[in-house]
Amino acid sequence: MKCRVCREPAVIDIRRHNANFCSDHFMRYCRDQATKTIKEFEMAHQGDRLLVAVSGGKDSLALWDILLELGWDVDGLYVGLGIGDYSDVSGDYVRSFFEAFAEPRGAKLIEVDLRATHGYDVPTASVATGRTPCSACGLSKRHLFDAAARDGAYDVLLTGHNLDDEAAVLYGNVMRWQVDYLARQRPMLAAGNGFPKKAKPLVRLSERETAAYCVLRGIDYQVDECPMAVGNRHLEYKNALGAAEEASPGMKQAFYFGYLREAVDLFATRPAPEGEAGEANTSLIPCDTCGSPTNGDPSGAATCAFCRLSQRSAAAEPVPVELLKTRRR
Amino acid sequence: MKCRVCREPAVIDIRRHNANFCSDHFMRYCRDQATKTIKEFEMAHQGDRLLVAVSGGKDSLALWDILLELGWDVDGLYVGLGIGDYSDVSGDYVRSFFEAFAEPRGAKLIEVDLRATHGYDVPTASVATGRTPCSACGLSKRHLFDAAARDGAYDVLLTGHNLDDEAAVLYGNVMRWQVDYLARQRPMLAAGNGFPKKAKPLVRLSERETAAYCVLRGIDYQVDECPMAVGNRHLEYKNALGAAEEASPGMKQAFYFGYLREAVDLFATRPAPEGEAGEANTSLIPCDTCGSPTNGDPSGAATCAFCRLSQRSAAAEPVPVELLKTRRR
C-alpha cells in the first residue's frame, strides 16, 4: 500500500476515494478537503475572524488545528456543560490542545461554564424541562455559541461536524421527512435574524479520517461518546449508514452531497425558525430577557426558548448525571 | 392474542398498528386498507373497468382477489417474460388462480407471451442491449401493460406493489437523490401522454400481510424471487428498511406516507419522461414503429426505447436464463 502522492509506504486507505496516503500527504489531504469546502460554500473570506466551537473530541480539535495550519485567524470556544466527569475530561483535552497547538500560534481560548454563567447544567435542564438530554444540550450550546460569536464580533462560527454526522442527521430527517430541518441542513448558513454565520468545513471528511488526523498529528482527544447520548437515534442512523457504506464505499458522500446538489433548494422555501441563522424571518421579536429574536412563548410573553429553559433549569434542584443515566433506562 | 374486532383467537399480529386479527377480520382489514387507498388517491371510480397485472406472486394475486371481493369489474393480465422455469411456474400459478377464483366471478385473463408476440425474452434482451435484467424486464413489461390497457379500453391499470416495495424504491431513490424518479413516485399516476392511468392499491399492506392474505384465503402463489433479481439493489434496500422496521415498527409506513404528504409535491415540477403517464409532456412525438409517445432516440429517429430494445433483442441469438445467471457473477 503506497501513498498516492509520493509512493512512500501509506498509513491509511480511503476506500471511497480509492486512495492511500502517507502521514504527511494524508494531513495535506485533510487540509485540502477543508479548503475546498470553505471555498465551495463560501464559508469564510480572507481577513475574517473565525471562532471554532471545541468539545475536546477529535472533530473539533482537528478543525481548529487545520484552520490554524491553513493560516486562518481562529480562536476557540469551549462550553462546560456540566455532564459530570465527561465534561471535566473534555475540558482538560481542550486546554491541553490549546497550550500545545493553538496558543503558540497566537490563538485565544474562550471558556464558558454553563452552571457558572447561567446557574444550571445539562442533566438538570433535561429533568427540569422534560427535554431529552441532547435537546437541552443543543439548545443551550446554540445559544452560548451565538452569544460568544456576537460578543467577540467574530465573522463566522465553525463546528467540527463530519461527513458521518451530517449524513446521519440527513438520514434521520429523511426517514421522518422533517421538512423544516431538511430545508436548513446546509454546511453553511448565512448570518441573519441577529445570528452569526455558521459553517462546517469538515463535511468532506469521515470520522475515521478526523480521528486519524488527530492521531498522526499527535493531538490527544476525548474518545468516549457523551454518556447521555448512548442509545440515541443519531447513533442508530450512523450504524445504518455505516453498514451501507461498508457495502458500497462512497454512498454516504453521494447521499449527503447529492442532497445538497439536487434537493435542499426544493425544501428551502420557509423562513428560518426562532434561534437560527439563515433566511430572514420578519415575524420574530426580541426576547424580553436576552434580546435574541424569538417567536415568543405559547403564553404570549416574548421569552425565547433558551431563556425559558434557562430560567426553569436554574430554579431546579441540581441533578447528578448518574441519576439521569438511571432514569433514562 | 385475540382479534381486535371479535375477541376470538387471532392468527396474525400487525405490530405497526398494534393490532391482532382472526382470519376473517384480517382479510377484511386487507380489503379495507385497499378501499381506503383507492378512495384517498382516487385510483378508480364506480363503473370503471380495471386491469390488474398479475405475475403469479402473492401481491398481484391478492390484489386481484381483493378487487373482485370488493365488487370491482377487474380482469387480469399475465405477461410471459421467458425467464426459464421461473416464468413457466409463474404462469401456472396465475392460471390456477384464474380458474378457481376469477373465472367463477366473471373475470377474464389476458395472456401475452413476450417471445411469441415480440420475438425475444428478458434474458436475451438483457444481453443484447447491455441493460440489467431488471431494466430490460421493466421496460418490456411497462410497454406490454400499457398496450393491453389501451387495446382493451380499460380505465385503470393496477399493480400489486406493497408497502415494502414502495418504501424500498423510495429509499433507493433518496439514497441517490434521483429527483426524476422521486417526482413520479406516487401510488396513482393519472392518464396522460397516451398512457393509461396507473394505480397501486396495496401500498398500505406489507408483504408479510399480502402473503398471509393468500395463505388464509387458500391462494397458491409463486414463492421464489425471480432468479435474475437475486442480489439486486432493491433487495439490499428492502433488507436495510426491514432492520429499521424491526427496531421501530411503523417506520416504513411513516417513511413512505410521510414522503407522499410532505415531499413528493416538491419534486414534482417536471413533465413526465418518455413512456410514462402523468404530467403532460408536449415535447414527445409518436414512435414511428408503435405510435407510443417518445423523445426519439439519440440518432434523431423517432423510435421509442421499447421498440429499440425489442428490435435489437429479436435479432439476437436467444440466451438461456442459466447462462445469464453465470454471466452476472
Point out the residue among B174, B179, B266 whose CB comes nearest to the CB of A174. B174
Q: Spell out which residues of chain A touch residue B177, defining contact as CB-CB under 8 Å.
A: 255, 258-259, 261-263
CB contact under 8 A, B263 and A177: yes
- Cβ-Cβ contacts under 8 Å, A236 against chain B: 247
Rounded CA separation A175/A169 (Å) = 10
Within 8 A of A247 by CB-CB distance, chain B residues are 236
CA atoms within 13 A on the CB side of A181: 12
The C-alpha atoms of residue B182 and residue A177 are separated, in whole angstroms, by 13
Amino acid at B256: Y
Are B263 and A175 a contacting pair at CB < 8 A? Answer: no
- In DSSP terms, A110 is beta-bridged to A77
CB contact under 8 A, A175 and B243: no
Q: Confirm or reject contact between B236 and chain A (CB < 8 A).
A: yes
B254: nearest CA in chain A? A176
Which residues, in sequence order, are CB contacts of B281 under 8 Å at separation 6+? B193, B271, B272, B273, B274, B293
B237 contact A CB<8A: no
Please answer yes or no on whether B255 and A175 come within 8 Å at the CB atom: yes
User: Residue A167 is placed in which grid cell?
Assistant: 449524513
Query: Cβ–Cβ contacts within 10 Å for residue A327, how many?
Result: 11
Contacts of B240 in chain A (CB under 8 A): 240, 243-244
Burial of B95 (0-12, 13-18, 19+ CB in 10 A): middle
A240 touches chain B (CB under 8 A): yes
Confidence at residue B329, expressed as pLDDT on a 0 to 100 scale: 36
pLDDT at B279: 57
Residues of chain A with Cβ-Cβ distance to B174 below 8 Å are 174, 255
CA torsion sign for B307, B312, B313, B314 is positive
B179 touches chain A (CB under 8 A): yes
Minimal-distance CA residue of chain A relative to B260: A177
The CA distance from B197 to B189, in Å, is 6
Residues of B in contact with A258 (CB under 8 A): 176-177
Query: CA nearest A251: which of B175, B87, B205?
Result: B175
Rounded Cα distance, A34 and A39, in Å: 9
* Facing residue for A259 by CB, picked from B177, B236, B258: B177
Q: B190 to each of B42, B195, B238, B247, how far by Cα in Å?
A: 9, 9, 27, 36
What is A243-301 written as a DSSP string?
A: HHHHHSTTHHHHHHHHHHHHTHHHH--S---TT--SS--TT-EE-TTT--EE---TTS-
Whether the CB of A247 is below 8 Å from some CB of chain B: the reply is: yes
- Kindly give, in sequence order, each residue whose CB lies less than 8 Å from that of residue B218, ignoring residues fewer than 6 positions away: none
Q: Is B261 within 8 Å of chain A by CB?
A: yes
- B189, B31 in Cβ contact below 8 A? no
Low-confidence stretches of chain A (pLDDT < 70) are 269-282, 325-329
Beta strands A19-21; A12-14: pairing state: antiparallel
Task: Please indicate if any CB of chain B lies within 8 Å of the CB of A268.
Answer: no
Q: In whole angstroms, what is the distance from residue A187 CA to residue A160 CA?
A: 11
Residue spans of beta strands (DSSP E) within chain B = 12-14, 19-21, 49-53, 73-80, 109-113, 156-158, 188-189, 197-199, 285-286, 293-294
Is B253:B272 a contact under the CB 8 Å cutoff? no
Strand A188-189 to A197-199 pairing: antiparallel
Task: Classify residue B226 by its DSSP letter.
Answer: P
User: Looking at the partner chain, which of A175, A177, A263 has a beta carbon nearest the beta carbon of B179?
Assistant: A263
A231 touches chain B (CB under 8 A): no
Chain B nearest-CA distance from A251, in A, is 8
Contact B255/A179, CB-based, under 8 Å? no
- The verdict on A263 touching B (C-beta cutoff 8 Å) is yes
Q: How far is B258 from chain A (nearest CA, A)?
A: 6
Task: Name the residue of chain B whose CA is nearest to A172's CA.
Answer: B255
> For A40-63, what is the HEC assignment?
HCCCCCCCCEEEEECCCCHHHHHH
Nearest to A280 by CA among A195, A198, A200: A195
Report the residue of B173, B175, B265 to disrupt the A interface, i.e. the one with the largest count of A CBs within 10 Å.
Answer: B175
**Position of cell 421464489?**
B224
A179 touches chain B (CB under 8 A): yes
Query: What is the count of residue pairs from A and B with beta carbons less than 8 Å apart?
Result: 47
SS (H, E, C) B20-69: EECHHHHHHHHHHHHHHHHHHCCCCCCCCEEEEECCCCHHHHHHHHHHHH
Subunit contact B236:A247, Cβ cutoff 8 A = yes
Q: Which of A266, A269, A270 to mutate to test the interface with B (most CBs of B within 10 A)?
A: A266
Measured between alpha carbons, how far is A104 from A197 in angstroms, rounded to an integer?
Answer: 27
| A260 interfaces chain B, CB cutoff of 8 Å | no
- C-alpha angle with apex B186: B143 to B67, nearest 5 degrees? 75
Query: Does any CB of chain A come closer than 8 Å to the CB of residue B174?
Result: yes
Please indicate whether, in this complex, the C-beta atoms of B175 and A251 are within 8 angstroms of each other: yes
All cell numbers assigned to A162 = 463530519
Would you tell me how many other CB atoms lie within 10 Å of the CB of residue B218? Answer: 9
Contact A200, A187 (CB under 8 A): yes
Radius of gyration of chain A, Cα coordinates, nearest whole angstrom: 20
Domains of chain B as residue ranges with CATH: 41-328 (3.40.50.620)
* Torsion from C-alpha of B188, B190, B195, B199, nearest 10 degrees: 20
Is A261 in CB contact (< 8 Å) with chain B? yes
Judged by DSSP in three states, A151 sits in helix
Angstrom distance (rounded) from CA B91 to CA B55: 7
| ipTM confidence score | 0.84
Distances (CA, A) of B178 to A171, A237, A266, B9, B211: 15, 21, 13, 46, 30
Residue of B nearest to A167 (CA): B175
- Residue A86: other Cβ atoms inside 10 A: 20
From B176, which residue of chain A is nearest by alpha-carbon distance? A255
CA gyration radius, chain B? 20
Which chain A residues contact residue B255 at CB under 8 A? 174-177
Nearest by CB to A263, from B177, B243, B258: name it.
Answer: B177
For residue A199, the one-letter residue type is A
Of A329, A328, A326, A323, the C-alpha closest to A124 is A323
Contact A254 B174 (CB under 8 A): no
pLDDT tens, residue order, chain B (329 aa): 999 999 999 999 999 999 999 999 999 999 999 999 999 999 999 999 999 999 999 999 999 999 999 999 999 999 999 999 999 999 999 999 999 999 999 999 999 999 999 999 999 999 999 999 999 999 999 999 999 999 999 999 999 999 999 999 999 999 999 999 999 999 999 998 888 999 999 999 999 999 999 999 999 999 998 888 877 777 788 888 888 888 889 999 999 999 999 999 999 865 555 656 555 566 788 888 988 888 777 777 889 999 999 999 999 999 888 877 655 43
| Residues B161/B189, Cβ–Cβ less than 8 Å | no
C-alpha cell at A71: 493560516
Instruction: Choose the closest CB to B263 out of A179, A254, A259.
Output: A179
Element of type H or E holding B241: helix B233-247
Spell out which residues of chain A touch residue B235, defining contact as CB-CB under 8 Å: none
Residue B10: DSSP 8-state? P
